[in-house]
Amino acid sequence: MNDIRRHLPVDEQLSLLKRGVADLVSEDDLRRKLERSLETGEPLRVKLGADPTRPDLHLGHAVILRKMRQFQDLGHKVIMLIGDFTAIIGDPTGKSKTRPPLTLEETRANAQSYLEQCKLVLRQDPEVLELRYNAEWLEPMGYADVIRLASRYTVARILERDDFTKRLSGGVPIALHELLYPLTQGYDSVALHADVELGGTDQLFNNLVGRALQRDYDQEPQVVMTLPLLVGLDGVEKMSKSLDNYIGLTDEPHVMFAKLMKVPDTLLENYFTLLTDVPEARIRELLAGHPVEAHKVLAREVTRFFAPDADLDAALERFQAVAKGGIPENIPSFTVPSADATAEGTYPAARLMVLAGLETSLGAARRTIQGRGLKVDGQPFLEPQGALALPASGVVIQKGKDKFARMLPES
């Protein structure tokens, strides 16, 4: 969606904004806010809070970022709130134990990478994007301020959170600062005068606390809108880098395309709805046809959004070649220094994997080889301590199904 649709009728705005939404509290409030915005010309203030505990983003994050982009395209201002201060506490949502705290410096370093990747989705025009850090108002708060804030919410209501209830019943300790996290996050909405707050379904409780606090501070309560957590490529768990079931926002286009071609058939509708603007009627048509064709459309739509200039025909040809057990034509080449050769003139396979960026360490490379994860010129290589001869034309090493590198000897 490349045009700003400021003057769409409210019903059309609602239809666009509700697409893929899991929770909406409440639709009547959102309609009223949109109607007022249309009448007055004042944009809504749409907040997304992010604790930058990890610097890398994937398509799971893009689900909410795309919803922010839709608000921007309707002329509203989205507020990217970096929780540099709340990350010090550590969001206990979904955690079975207390999270180790981060330093303010760590969260701000992560935030820089986070923001650079957000630019792949969000408009950067200051009229529709505001960047804030919650240390701005939370760090100066004194002990008396915290006590006054804590007096506005009861322990009973905080303990209604499902993860707190489970930890209590299981005898797992809950640190007092964790009980303050929802309250602290909720106060962000007060400080920003948010009209709408976005989040994953796991953030519903925290976001509703913000709605309640705004009412207590004599502000109009924010609308709470949650988006589903995107299931990863394993078809079971939510998308996560730690589970290696993710598609990164900064993946090379051919890698993103290939991963999207492997999305489980059962998740196609979900991915189309949450990650594309393909009309619902067209989605139904695609799902009724052959799954391979639906995958091709999905891969093109999503990859084109993040890499508009990518050659998607070449990406498809590459995927098809790899799927047939072949080696694609355009793969990176690396010259191996002669100093890395053994006395016999061969080169340790694990070292070649590290030089090609297929693994980060020799130990990881050897484990990959031991797990049958390396091929040399299309053939399995099974010797973790083994070495390879490098002819003048080089050899092609391959990790998994779609990571290739041509290794050439130093001339």
Query: Is 296 annotated as a binding-site member?
Result: no
| Backbone CA torsion sign across 47, 48, 52, 53 | positive
The reported pLDDT for the residue numbered 90 is: 61
Q: Where are the alpha helices (DSSP H) in 77-142?
A: 86-89, 104-118, 135-138
Architecture (CATH level 2) of domain 10-227: 3-Layer(aba) Sandwich (3.40)
- Give the model's pLDDT for residue 1: 42
What is the chain's percent helix, strand, coil content, to nearest 5?
45, 15, 40
Q: Look at residue 165 and tell me whether its pLDDT is greater than 90.
A: no
Average pLDDT rounded to a whole number, residues 200-207: 91
Distance from C-alpha of 266 to C-alpha of 287, rounded to nearest angstrom: 10
Whether the Cβ atoms of residue 46 and residue 195 lie closer than 8 Å to each other: yes
Residue corresponding to tokens 């994050």: 61
Instruction: Give the amino acid at 295.
Output: H
**Helices and strands (H, E) in the chain, number of each type:** 18, 13
113-132 pLDDT tens trace: 788 888 899 999 999 999 99
226 pLDDT band, cuts 50/70/90, is: very high
Which one of 3.40.50.740, 3.40.1080.10, 1.20.1250.20, 1.10.240.10 gives the CATH number of domain 253-323?
1.10.240.10
The residues spanned by each domain of the chain are: 10-227, 253-323, 333-409
Rounded to two decimals, the pTM is: 0.81
Joined together, the tokens standing for residue 15 give 């239809």
pLDDT-derived band at 243 (thresholds 50, 70, 90) equals confident
Q: Model confidence over 327-376: pLDDT tens digits?
A: 887 788 999 999 999 988 999 999 999 999 999 999 999 999 999 999 99
CATH of 333-409, one of 1.10.10.60, 3.10.290.10, 3.40.1280.10, 3.40.50.11540: 3.10.290.10
CB atoms within 10 A of CB 301: 17
Q: Which ranges in 170-324 belong to alpha helices (H)?
A: 176-192, 204-216, 253-260, 268-275, 280-288, 291-306, 312-323
Residue partners of 80: CB distance under 8 A and separation at least 6: 48, 50, 68, 115, 118, 122, 129, 130, 131, 132
User: CA 69 → CA 2, 15, 18, 119, distances in Å?
Assistant: 10, 15, 13, 11
* Most confident range, picked from 177-181, 205-209, 222-226: 222-226
- Please check the confidence at residue 5 and state whether its pLDDT lies above 80: no
**What is the rounded average pLDDT of the residues 48-57?**
76
